[in-house]
Structure 1
Amino acid sequence: MTQEELSLVRSYLLLTFIHKVFERDCRVIGKSGLFKTPQLYMELVSTGAKKTSLMLKEVKRELELHDLRIVTILQDVQGVVARYHCRECPGELNILWPGFRREMMLRMRAYLGLATEFSVLNREEHAEQLAMIL
């Protein structure tokens, strides 16, 4: 199993989870009755869902090209586990929740066209440094 193939499995997991989150959020926004203009927020989240759907199709195509098949996806209190077969050899990828959630948020922000967490952190660090100087 190459690093690229492990990356494909990881991307498949992240995109699958992100797509489900976007779809759920879109439904909740539409049904909540809390927004004055729900269609704007639904459009934003729907755009993210469309991007993840397209990317997921591409990752599935790449998995097929590498003769890689995801057998099961499991979740527990520790994180997410993907069991796969790569050229008929079984394998497993475990991702702990903190890292998985962090990467999900970074990708979701990118798919929605928002600033990355790093740019937000950089602004906060800059403000903190400025406060120490003053």
Structure 2
Amino acid sequence: MATTKITTPTTPHPHTREEDITKDELSLVRSYLLLTFIHKVFERDCRVIGKSGLFKTPQLYMELVSTATKKTSIMLQEVTRELASHNLKITTVRQDQQGVEAQYSCRGYQGESRILWPSFRREMMLRMRAYLGLATELSIVTREESLEQLALSI
């Protein structure tokens, strides 16, 4: 579950109100967070696959993950462009035991968006599966184990 907190601007803008921060803009913040984390996970996994010595054909798996990494990179660039076009800047990203938080400024207003781990992990896994070209349904047997392992590696 994501929560959002909006505060008043540090320097007043005469034509900007709190409600001018739209759901679409908050969705951009969420996508930025997810894509940033997913990109880091894919990069790490690609390195581990290459160095592990456990795969008979590591180049195949590295190619699969590398392709997904490139997709996330392109999407992250697009989200970053969209953030700039909305005059929205992510100022701080933090993670703690409860979840991930982004502080941002949007047309002079300071705000924060917080996504709790269960929701964040679930959406990460769904997006990662899509970027890898896999079915979007998680396996019931391994879902909890995968989510726990993902939390430890972020």
Q: TM-score, normalising length from structure 1?
A: 0.88
- Report Cα offsets for 1:19-77 as digits up to 9, x if no partner: 00000000000000000000000000000000000000000000000000000000000
| Aligned residue among 55, 60, 70 for 2:75 | 55
2:50 to 30, 47, 50: 30
Report deviation, 1:88. 1.5
In the alignment, which of 56, 65, 69 is matched to residue 85 of structure 2?
Answer: 65
In the alignment, the residues of structure 2 paired with residue 105 and residue 96 of structure 1 have an alpha-carbon distance, to the nearest angstrom, of 14
Highest relative contact order (Cα 8 Å, sep 6+), 1 or 2?
A: 2
Unmatched tracts of structure 1, length 5 or more: 122-134
In the aligned structure 2, how far is the partner of 1:115 from the partner of 1:42?
19
Root mean square deviation of aligned Cα: 1.0
Correspondences of 1:97-108 after superposition (within 5 Å): 97-108=117-128
The structure with the largest helix share of the pair is: 1
State the identity %: 77
Normalising by structure 2, we get a TM-score of: 0.76
Partner of 2:145: none
SS in 2 for 1:27: helix
What is the number of residues matched between the two proteins? 120
Matched residue of 2:32: which SS?
helix
Aligned counterparts, 1:105-116, within 5 A: 105-116=125-136
Structure-1 separation of matches of 2:39 and 2:52: 20
**Match for residue 11 of structure 1 among 31, 43, 66:** 31
The whole-number CA distance in structure 2 between the counterparts of 1:95 and 1:60 is: 19
Paired with 1:92 and 1:84, the residues of 2 have a C-alpha distance of 6
Partner of 2:99: 79
